Structures are given as structure tokens and as C-alpha cells.
A and B are shown apart, each in its own frame.
Chain A
């Protein structure tokens, strides 16, 4: 980054306070029914101007690369960029705190009324729908790989599906075997 870049960015970018971080991530968490990341972009890039498009894309690729929930990692990256550890904690608290209370309420309701016919019906429908969302997600992720017309990534994906979905092997072992193979293959191909 050149000096003029740095100056331009520091004047354009608004620096949120700790409470703004908390509220910003709370807003994203509460409006993101069924997936939070698209909302994160909308709120942080378009509405609040904390990051530009490129910074958001970079943060996102880092989140997806690191283990753990993507959006929580996003909170740590954005929060710590502005205010170090305190910023990261504020952002994650906003993201997880209030929804956690709602989830607990849902858990309690499910424990008490989960057997009611009405709720059973709704849950049967929801679960079938949720399965559909996962199917769509798997297909969406596969398409770019299929378009590359390389067999190897598809073999790795299929092996992962069979090992974890059908054979029900422990995930750790599958990751320990498949990830190095797949990464090694990508390394060899990019070389």
C-alpha cells in the first residue's frame, strides 16, 4: 500500500467505536435470517462504510480459510482491525450474545412443546426445507469446480462425501488424510 493510498483510505473509511462495533454486528446477526454473510457486506460496506469492497472480499477469503464459523471470524477480523482485542470481543459479543438468548428460548420451547402436533408439523416442513438449503449450497459450491473440468477435485469431494456421509468415519481422520492430498494436488498444479 502506498502512502497516498493510506491517506485516501483513512479519510474515506469511518472508524467505528466499540459500541458501534457491537451494535453493527448485532444488527447483522438479527437481520440475517438464514445466513448472515450477505448482510454483513451490505451493512459494513454499503451502509456504514467501515470497509471497501476489496477489504471485505479479503476478510471473507480469510474467514473461509480459517477454521470455525465464518461470520464469527469476520467479527474478529473487523473488530480487531479497528480496536484490537477489545474490538474483536465487542463484535463477537454483538454477533453471538443476543442470538444466543433467542436460541436458548427456542431450545426451551422445543424441549417443552416439541411433541405438539402443530410444532411437529412445522418442524417436519422446516427440516425438509433446511435439507434443501444444504443441497443447494453443496451444488453452488460444486459448480465452479465442475467447470474447471479437472477430475481430481471432484474425486476429493466425492471421497469426502462417502467417508463422512456414508461410511460415517470420524471427521478428524478424514480431514487429516484428504486435506493434505487435496492441497498437495493444488500445489502441484499451480507450480
Chain B
């Protein structure tokens, strides 16, 4: 694989993608998966799920999991480029929008946009869940772990990270 070409085109793609990631970066997981696993074949399905999982477990904003993809593609440079692609365009937009936003507080188009974006976001997050589950849940035990972690996050009174930690322990014990 031509590393240079791959990382630059991925960086450009990510920069564009970050601009449609309305409602958080979990919405672009399906597109990242499509690009990296299906179109480029740079990672396997399982590697993608691994990196996503590391991103959830490591300290720091979860979105930085894309820098792990960058790292796999082109090491240190790859991680830096993907971090920049993720932050620079959207930060620039946010910087300018935040100055004028209050002016439109009661504008009907603003309410309609906020309300209209939500269902689309939900569909994309559900697609992310489906794709990661499909890659990770290769047996009944893994499927049960997914269900249990979801239940803890939904109804548990403890930090959902305990669910994630428990899942890792079960995995080390060879049960997943």
C-alpha cells in the first residue's frame, strides 16, 4: 500500500466528513468503516472494532479513535494529520458561528434545524451500533456482553465504564 497517498486521501476525506458530523462523531463511524474497511481495505472489520473499542476505553475524547486509524495507516504523522483533520475545520466554523449565534436564538429556522437534525443523527448512531456489534459479536457470549453493557448504560446506577471494564475482564478470561 502506498502509505503517503492513503493517509493524505484519508485525511482529506475525514476533514470533509467532520463537516457533516452533525450531532457528534459517532454519526460518521459507518462512513469511516465504509471507507477504511470496505473501499480501501486498509483495516479488517475486527481491527476497526478493536480501534473503536480502544477509543472508548482510553482517557480523553472518544472521537480521538480516528487518530488510531491514522496511526495504523501512517504512524505518528498519520495520527497528527487525522487529529488536525478532525479539529481544524470544525473549530474554525464553531469559532465564527459562536459569535453570531445568540442573535438567532428565537429564529424559527434554528428550532427547525435543531429538531430536524435529531432523527437523522439517531439513524446514524443506530447504524454505528449495528456495524460495531456485527464486527464484535461473533458468538453468543459476546452478544450477551453487548446486551449487558447496553442495559447497564441505560438503567444502571453506576458509571457505564464499569460495564466496559467487566467486558474486558471477561475477554481476558477467554469467555467472549
Contacts and interface: CB of A to CB of B under 8 A. Distances in A.
Contacts, number: 386
B73 to A, nearest CB: 10
Interface residues of B, number: 113
B116 to A, nearest CB: 3
Nearest to A62: B101
A67 B18 contact: yes
Contacts of A136: 149-151, 153-154, 160
A124 interface: yes
B118 interface: yes
Contact of B125 (A31, A141, A168, A187): A141
B159 interface: yes
B98 A62 contact: yes
B168 interface: yes
A175 B20 CA distance: 7
Given A142-B122, A156-B120, A170-B34, A125 B19 contact: no
B90 A69 contact: yes
A170 to B, nearest CB: 7
A102 B61 CA distance: 11
A140 B154 contact: yes
Contacts of A100: 60, 64, 67, 79-80, 83
Interface string A127-165: 111111111111111100100000011101111111111
> 6 nearest interchain CB pairs?
A160-B123, A125-B171, A99-B60, A68-B90, A132-B149, A165-B127
Interface of B: 16-28, 30-31, 34, 38, 46-47, 49-65, 67-68, 71-72, 76, 79-80, 83, 86-87, 89-91, 93-95, 97-99, 101, 108-109, 111-133, 135-138, 142-143, 145-154, 159-161, 163-164, 166-176
21 contacts: A36-B62, A67-B20, A68-B19, A70-B24, A92-B91, A96-B60, A96-B83, A110-B72, A123-B54, A125-B145, A126-B53, A130-B132, A132-B146, A133-B150, A136-B153, A138-B128, A139-B154, A157-B119, A168-B34, A172-B17, A178-B123
Given A92-B87, A182-B120, 6 more contacts: A29-B59, A65-B114, A124-B142, A136-B151, A145-B122, A157-B120
